[in-house]
Amino acid sequence: MSLQVIRRVVLHSADLRAPLHPVLQRAYAARGVRSATDLDISLARLLPVGTLAGVPEAVTLLLAHRASGRVLVIGDYDADGATSTALMVRAMRAWGFAAVDFLVPNRFEFGYGLTPEIVALARTRAPTLIVTVDNGISSLAGVAAARAALIDVLITDHHLPGAALPDANVIVNPNLAGSRFGSPALAGVGVAFYVMAGLKKRLDEAGALAALAPGVAEFLDLVALGTVADVVPLDFNNRVLVAQGLERIRAGRCVAGIRALLKVAGRGPTDLTSTDLAFAVAPRLNAAGRIDDMKIGIECLLADDEASAMELAGRLDALNRERRSIEARMQTDALAAVQRLHEKSLRPLHRSGVCLYDESWHQGVVGLVASRVKERVRRPVFAFARADAASLRGSGRSIPGVHIRDVLDSIAARHPDLIVKFGGHAMAAGLTLELAKLERFARAFDEEVARCMGAGERADCIETDGELAVAEIALETANALRAGGPWGQAFPEPSFDGVFVIRSARLVGERHLKMWVEVPRSGRAFDAIAFNYADQAGEATLPQGSAQLVYRLDINEYQGERRLQLLVDHLLPA
């Protein structure tokens, strides 16, 4: 498939009134930063707690169970759910709640959300209040079962609601119809943070806490990790949350579990970036929910002593290695299936939306496979695994401009008998489907994505911040860009394009392409690496001559020496 490089348009000049590196200043302007105020990501700039609807009612409900009730937090099985759960449990235990525990559904036994089966399991803990984090907005039957058992229910979630809302005592969700909250992009852990901030404020006003009780800001390390891991858009409010959490982690003021996960990942906290959270910490935490049971990940984040945290982080690291092995095998199968689609078509890829299924696939890893294949084919992708003898669970990943949860909503409206249940947000979604209806869904998905994409050409575009002058390809620029974050979804890390002469190329670690590249007619050459360049068999044609690179500036640290390195995301014909 041919890819077209387009450059981000700077629609206005930025009056930043600060001595910023010119490359960073251009990057900010291309991302809508207009003034120095837009760069003030101090905690004081956070949207006020009282502006998120439902928080006051949620606090009143929580306080009714503080002295003698039993609160059970029920989270999702991903990193957002794990950090949300740990935040809620830590906060309420520190603030005098009589009994607080957690329960996380095993995805292979119970599926997603507050189901009636989970409520039945929860009842063995005799809770008086169930609090959902990062789930619950679509759990109509589960909430009904809890209320029938005389258990109060507080839902905190960020996923898009369906046509009907569950009959919970209180719902806090920035995406409810009519919400005026300024950041609908909050992750589940962000919603949990706002609820706990409201609780702390009410307890302080009542003089109900000791002077040494932790403040809500002490949980921002968890908020940063969960927000980055869930790949929600980094709007201004989320950038504040992530920046403040990163600052705490860099200063060593984070939970023992995050320190341990950084250590097993070989990352130091002092110069940590959001990219490190996304690619080093989050996958290890997510591995528990994908391969085993997220209880391990939550216990790691709840551990207070270093030894326990390191033992649990080691288990998570081992699970992540297992996950990578499973994913690699599945990805090979998936890409082979895409190639078969290619061979059957007269066009490069005749499907706007791609559906893939193999009965041997692991349902905990299909989301990652969908993500990898989406990056390759640059189309929205659903990957499916067998849930039981008659049904499938699918995980989808999308591209900018195609809201995948809305796609599913439209399919459900057009074909009411097709999807058993679904949920998600703009870039990721999940669904349950009868095996016999897979082909019908694949056709409906392709048709609906085609409607969203129009001609579909934008899916084949790579957006960059343009070409750097030779003098700008420097360690100084890399340092400035690293300090200019946090970067993430909808506020992407700056990337650049340019034509280079490849002077040497070799595979390292079987899959990664190590290169020495030169800017033509400049005499300047640079170290470059393209991760996962080779296919799964470790076979790849080594590039020669000139090529157009799409790359980011990185700092490679080895034996105390810091050197510039180009991280190559795309290697295209010159």
Q: Specify the DSSP element, H or E, that contains 553.
A: strand 545-558
The CATH number assigned to the domain holding 271 equals: 3.90.1640.30
- Domain encompassing residue 390: 345-461
- Tokens found for residue 128: 């008086």
The domain boundary residue, chosen from 461, 479, 501: 461
The H-assigned helical ranges of 344-365 are: none
Q: How far is CA 573 from the centre of its chain?
A: 31
Tally of domains in the chain: 3
Please indicate, yes or no, if residue 405 is contained in any of the structural domains: yes
Name the pairing type of β-strands 545-558 and 561-573. antiparallel
- Is 153 in the same domain as 200? yes
What pLDDT sits at residue 205?
Answer: 96
249 and 391 part of one domain: no
User: In 3D, which of 87, 271, 110, 342 has the Cα closest to residue 196?
Assistant: 87
Q: Determine, yes or no, domain membership for 161.
A: yes
Q: What is the pLDDT of residue 535?
A: 53
Band (173; pLDDT cuts 50, 70, 90): very high
209 within some domain: yes
Examine the domain organization and report whether 140 and 178 are in the same domain. yes
330 assigned to some structural domain? no
The answer to whether residue 541 sits within a structural domain is yes
Predicted local confidence at residue 343, as pLDDT: 55
Q: Please tell me whether residue 19 adopts helix, strand or coil conformation.
A: coil
Q: Specify whether 152 is located in the same domain as 274.
A: yes
**Length reported for the chain:** 574
Q: Which CA distances in Å does 129 have to 80, 188, 195?
A: 21, 19, 15
- Which tokens belong to 415? 């074909």
Is 362 within the bounds of a domain? yes
- Quickly state the pLDDT bin for 2 (edges 50, 70, 90): low
Separation between Cα atoms, residue 445 and residue 382, nearest integer Å: 9
The CATH number of residue 523's host domain is 2.40.50.460
Predicted local distance difference test score (pLDDT) of residue 536: 40
Q: pTM to 2 decimals?
A: 0.89
Instruction: Indicate whether 392 and 488 sit together in one domain.
Output: no
66, part of any domain: yes
Per-residue pLDDT reduced to its tens digit, 16-56: 766 889 999 999 999 989 888 889 999 999 999 999 999 99
| Rounded distance between C-alpha atoms, residue 211 and residue 503, angstroms | 63
**In which region does residue 378 sit, left (phi positive, over 0), alpha (psi from -120 to 50) or beta (all else)?**
left
Q: Is residue 442 part of a domain?
A: yes
Q: Are residues 303 and 359 in the same domain?
A: no
Question: What local confidence, expressed as pLDDT, does residue 534 receive?
Answer: 75
Q: Based on the domain organization, do 15 and 155 belong to the same domain?
A: no
Measured over the CA atoms of residue 50, residue 52, residue 55 and residue 56, the dihedral's sign is positive
- Residue 557 has a pLDDT of 82
pLDDT digits (tens, 9 = 90+) for 55-107: 999 999 999 999 999 999 999 889 999 999 999 999 999 999 999 999 988 77
pLDDT of residue 561: 85
Q: Is the domain of 439 the same as that of 472? A: no
Residue where one domain finishes, among candidates 412, 436, 461: 461
- Write down the pLDDT at residue 14: 63
Residue that terminates a domain, selected from 437, 461, 485 = 461
Gap between the Cα atoms of 517 and 264, Å rounded:
32
Q: How far apart are CA 282 and CA 284, in angstroms?
A: 5
**Same domain, yes or no, for 170 and 132?**
yes
Domain shared by 307 and 414, yes or no: no
Q: What is the CATH number of the domain that holds 386?
A: 3.10.310.30
Judge if 243 and 293 occupy the same domain. Answer: yes
111/350 Cα distance (integer angstroms): 33
| Per-residue pLDDT at 346 | 38
Could you tell me if 122 and 76 lie in one domain? Answer: yes
pLDDT-based confidence at 351, cuts 50/70/90?
confident
